[in-house]
């Protein structure tokens, strides 16, 4: 039993690393303008499909965590104006939006 304890302690000592560098996580950078080119329509049973639309609606993501759109994003239409803006958080597990207009 004493040998088992010494073995475990030895494993812990050698298993520990002296590299205390902080973990670096690659957070994706996003700076792009998206245009609305398709819209999803579903009758509620999962059989919906994307349909091409003729729209000037855009959303622009800036590197400083701000997004801007030339239309309301919560309305499910292709109409532009009034403008919307807010903040976004983007990392490998979460995309979170907060709107200034709502």
65-94 pLDDT, tens digit each: 888 999 888 777 888 888 888 888 877 766
The β-bridge relationship of strands 66-69 and 58-61 is: antiparallel
The pLDDT confidence band at residue 54, using thresholds 50, 70 and 90, is: very high
pTM, entire model: 0.57
**How does pLDDT run across 30-53, given as a tens digit for each residue?**
678 999 999 988 888 989 999 999
The values of phi and psi at residue 58, to 5°, are -135, 160
Question: Which is higher by pLDDT, 101 or 87?
Answer: 87
**How does pLDDT run across 3-32, given as a tens digit for each residue?**
666 666 665 566 555 555 555 555 556 678
The CA R_g of the chain, rounded to the nearest whole Å, is 25
Instruction: Give the pLDDT score at 53.
Output: 92
């Amino acid at each position: 039993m004493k040998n088992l304890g010494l073995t475990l302690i030895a494993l812990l000592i050698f298993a520990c690393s002296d590299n205390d560098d902080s973990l670096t996580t690659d957070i994706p950078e996003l700076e792009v303008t998206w245009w609305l080119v398709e819209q999803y329509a579903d009758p509620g049973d999962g059989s919906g499909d994307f349909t091409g639309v003729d729209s000037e609606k855009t959303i622009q993501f800036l590197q400083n965590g701000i997004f801007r759109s030339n239309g309301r994003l919560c309305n499910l239409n292709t109409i532009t104006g009034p403008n919307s803006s807010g903040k976004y958080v983007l990392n490998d597990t979460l995309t979170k939006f907060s709107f200034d207009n709502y």
